Amino acid sequence: MQEEKLNIPFDTLKSAVAGSIVYPPGGRFGPRIQQDIQLVMLYTGEMNVTIDGRHVRVLPGQLILLKPGHEETFIFSKTEQSWHRWIAIHMNELPEHTRDALYQLPECLPLTEEMTRLTDLMLDVQRQVPSDDPSALSLGLSAIHLYPIESKRVLLQKEKHPAVYATLMWIHDHYADEISLERLAQQANLSPEHLLRLFKSNIQSTPIHYLWEYRVNKAIELLTSTGLTISEIAHRCGFKTSHHFARLIKKFTGKTATTIRQSSWNYLHK
């Protein structure tokens, strides 16, 4: 089955909240019907979650992705305090493509420093703004969109050939540079032919196709989060010309750069 891309439009969000709580030994919560897309991060203790009768054990240093519509019960450590935090976003209706993408993601992941810092920031911001403020909504949406990125990072570390993983990380650090297959192969200490075979067997792509796709994704980030010109974005992301940038954006997304930018900024002008 083809992987669904998690794409939650900003204008579908109704609220975003973060929280922090410490349960005493033997604490429990629920049952409750989950109403949101929620990330729960455990820092100390233990958390056993029952979801529609199915048991999931969450250990310190892990986070769990909870999805709307399920009955949940939480039972915490019997011997020590359990400290967890959460981020939840609420939508009136969950689109089918979003639901499909959520269910393709792993249920639990290691808790990263990036997710922890994002939670810290959201807790600070929501002391000053309501849960439906654009800044709170943006942070909540960022956390949900960070989850599949962290998922891919874990999969790369665990499942990919070491040379493929090292090449991907090098691309992430140098994507704005002039890069050829030969240069990537040199970084991996492999022949270009060997690296090409490894990429095709490990990620069903070629090194250069992955590079351009990554550049497009970084360019979209700049389009939707900055006021930089098209020419500046193209330069920063390693495109040869603005025309080349426009052509690849259209090829990978089916949309023009202007359409992508206008869609992401429309809510500011409502």
**H, E, C per residue of 27-70:** CEEEEEECCCEEEEEEEECCEEEEECCEEEEECCCEEEEECCCC
User: Would you kindly state where each structural domain of the chain is located, as residue ranges?
Assistant: 10-156, 160-269
Looking at residue 3, the DSSP 8-state letter turns out to be P
pLDDT tens by residue, 119-140: 999 999 999 999 999 999 999 9
Quick one: 10-156 is in which CATH superfamily? Regulatory protein AraC (2.60.120.280)
Residue type, 25: P
H or E element at residue 228: none
Q: pLDDT at residue 244 above 60?
A: yes
Q: What average pLDDT does this structure show over 73-83?
A: 93
Please state, in angstroms and rounded to a whole number, the distance separating the CA atoms of residues 140 and 15.
Answer: 9
Q: Please, is 28 exposed, middle or buried when counting C-beta atoms within 10 Å of its C-beta (0-12, 13-18, 19+)? A: exposed
Q: Decide: residue 87, CB within 10 A, 0-12 exposed, 13-18 middle, 19+ buried.
A: buried
pTM, to two decimals: 0.58
Close Cβ partners of 122 (under 8 Å, ≥ 6 residues apart): 16, 18, 87, 136, 139, 140, 143
Q: Give the model's confidence band at 268: pLDDT under 50 very low, under 70 low, under 90 confident, else very high.
A: very low
The pLDDT of residue 266 is 52
pLDDT above 60 (res 269): no
Q: State whether residue 21 is helix, strand or coil.
A: strand
Q: Pick left, alpha or beta for residue 54 (phi over 0 → left; psi -120 to 50 → alpha; otherwise beta).
A: beta
Q: Strand 62-66 relative to strand 71-76: parallel, antiparallel, unpaired?
A: unpaired
d(C-alpha 52, C-alpha 32), whole Å: 10
CATH number belonging to the domain at 160-269, selected among 1.10.10.1400, 3.30.930.10, 3.40.800.10, 1.10.10.60: 1.10.10.60
Comparing 20-24, 132-136, 159-163, the range with the smallest average pLDDT is 159-163
Judge whether residue 1 has pLDDT over 50.
Answer: no
